[in-house]
Amino acid sequence: MSTIAENIAEFKTELASVCRDCDRNPSEISIVAVTKNRSSAEINSLLASGITAIGENRLQEFLAKKAEIGAAEKHFVGRIQSNKAAEIAREFDVVESVSSLKIAKILNDSIISRDVARNVSTTSHKTLPIFLQINLAREPQKDGFSPEEIESALSEISKFANLEVVGLMTIGVFGDTKRTREIFAAGKKLCEKFGLPKFSAGMSDDWPIAVECGATELRIGRLLFE
């Protein structure tokens, strides 16, 4: 059985190969290690092997192990419940799954209390980077803005002083390579249309398609651990 360090090395080798094939530079692409259901020991092994960003899906699970986790950029990548949004704003460095204006407003209004909790002075205040989740598959079971809502959402969120929209995030269709490619390509075009520098797409089963379509961030879990 491979170690976590070996898995990371293998993944980076495969990433470099895919990048060569589509004329991209691997340095343009960030790996966010999805650590749902993983122990603090496993997460620390990731960090010791060069991973610098982790993504959590569940707030309570993260809180239970955060004291034992080493330094990392912490992304929230799961579904956001409105009653958990304020605490997510306080605990995470980046929120990738902002799926409604209601959630965006709660996050915005929670930043000051986040800074107080972290003992950050008002002069050192930083906005919270967020991704808007876009439901390009138009699947009712998935959260997210429709493509037609992105422009107005960006306009409204630009009024929120404590948030910075840095990109879009989307999810492919499991088992459907053709549809997933269409979704990722459309997401990248929307990022370009609205001048957003980051595009979060691709997980363990479809990440090469995301790279080919221009993703700047991959959310990888199973491949790094198993």
pLDDT tens across 63-88, in order?
Answer: 999 999 999 999 999 999 999 999 99
Q: Out of 10-19, 105-114, 136-145, pick the least confident.
A: 105-114
Tokens at 165, concatenated? 């929209």
The residues spanned by each domain of the chain are: 4-225
Its pTM stands at 0.93
- The CATH number of 4-225 is 3.20.20.10
The angle formed by the CA atoms of residues 188, 193 and 196, to the nearest 5 degrees, is 70
Closest CA to 104 of 161, 175, 28: 161
Q: Under a CB-based contact definition with an 8 Å cutoff, are residues 209 and 180 in contact?
A: yes
Closest CA to 106 of 123, 90, 118: 90
